Amino acid sequence: MATTRLHRNEQINGWAFVMPALVLLGIFMIYPILWSLWMSFQVGRGNNFSFGGLANIQRLANDALLVHALSNTIIFFIIQVPIMIVLALLFAVALNDATLRFRGVFRTLLFLPCVTSLIAYSSLFKSMFSNDGIINQTLVSLHLIGAPIPWLTDPFWAKMVIITAITWRWTGYNMIFYLAALQNIDKSIYEAARIDGVPAWARFWNLTVPMLKPVILFTTILSTIGTLQLFDEVNNITQGGPGNGTMTLSLYIYNLTFRMMPSFGYSALVSWVIVAIVAVLSIVQFVIARDRRRAS
C-alpha cells in the first residue's frame, strides 16, 4: 500500500517535472518535423498550397543549385573540420604541459574568439579581407603574394575566407573540450611511456589520440551539424556569392522560402534532405568509431 502510493507519487512527479519541456518540444520541434514531411508533398506559393504528389521530388532531382549548395557544404566540411580539429588538438596538448609558462594566458586568448557573435565576427572578416584591406596589404608587404587576392569576388577565394573565418571562431572552442579530456587522463601512462623512450609524436598518436577518441567524435559531430547549419557567416560576408560559390544548404533553404518565389513545400523537402544527411553522417561516424575501437 505504502509502496504503491510512493510509486504513484514518483510517477506523477516524474511527468509533472518534464511536462512543460515536452509540451514545448512537441509543438516547436516534433510537430514541425512531421508537418514538413507532409508539406514536402505540397506545391503552391506562400500559404496557398495543394497536394502535388511527387512534383517536388522531381524538382529536387533536377535542382542544380541544390547540388551546388551540397557540394559547397561538403567542401567546407572536408577542408575546414580536419584543419580545425588538428589545430585544436595540437594547442590542447601544448597547453596541457604543466611546465609551460603563461598557460592560462594562452588558453584565454585562444578561447577569446568564442565570445563573438557569428554576425559580429563575420562583419570583421568582411572588412579585413576587402580588396585593398589589411590582409592583402600584409601578404603583399611580406612578399607572400605578388598581387592582391580577390578574396570576396572570386568563388574559390571566397570559400577560403569562409573557411578561415570559421576556423578562427571555433578552434579555441574545440580546444577547450580536448583540454578537459586531457586533464582526466592518468599522467602515469605518459610517465611510463617517456621512461620507455617513446618519442613525443608517438605518444601523441598512440596514447593521446586513442584516449581522446570519444571527445574527437563528439566534436566532429558538433562540427558536422555546424557545417550543415552554416548561415550567418555566408549570409553576412558573401551572401552565398560570388556566383553561388559559397551557397550553403541553410542559406539555400532560406532563399527558397523568403527570397525567391516562396515555395514552402519544396523548402520543406530540402529541409528533409538535411535531416537525412545528418542521420546518415551520425550513423557513419558511430560505426567508424566502433570499428576502430574493436580493431585497437
Q: Which residue, 48 or 295, has its beta carbon nearer to another protein?
A: 48
Q: Which residue, 27 or 295, has its beta carbon nearer to another protein?
A: 27
Residue 184 Cα distances to 89, 98, 176, 177, 187, angstroms: 15, 14, 13, 11, 9
Q: Which of helix, strand or coil describes residue 178? A: helix
Residue 112 Cα distances to 50, 67, 115, 141, angstroms: 50, 36, 6, 28
Least CB distance to another protein at residue 244 (A): 17
Closest C-alpha among 75, 78, 122 to residue 239: 122
Any idea what DSSP says for residue 116?
S
Q: What is the rounded CA–CA span in Å between residue 230 and residue 251? A: 8
Q: Find the DSSP H helices in 196-263.
A: 200-203, 209-211, 213-229, 232-237, 249-254
Q: Which residue, 157 or 177, has its beta carbon nearer to another protein?
A: 177
Element (H, E) at 41: none
Cell numbers of 115, please? 565570445
Least CB distance to another protein at residue 54 (A): 19
Q: What is the rounded CA–CA span in Å between residue 10 and residue 24? A: 22
Q: Which residue, 15 or 156, has its beta carbon nearer to another protein?
A: 15
Least CB distance to another protein at residue 97 (A): 8
Q: Assess contact for 167 and 84: CB atoms under 8 A.
A: yes
Q: What is the rounded CA–CA span in Å between residue 19 and residue 276? A: 29
Cα Rg of the chain, angstroms? 24
Q: What is the rounded CA–CA span in Å between residue 93 and residue 100? A: 11
Q: Which residue, 55 or 90, has its beta carbon nearer to another protein?
A: 90
Least CB distance to another protein at residue 159 (A): 19
Least CB distance to another protein at residue 279 (A): 8
Q: Which residue, 134 or 192, has its beta carbon nearer to another protein?
A: 134
Residue 201 identity: W
Least CB distance to another protein at residue 46 (A): 10
Q: Which residue, 278 or 295, has its beta carbon nearer to another protein?
A: 278
Least CB distance to another protein at residue 90 (A): 8
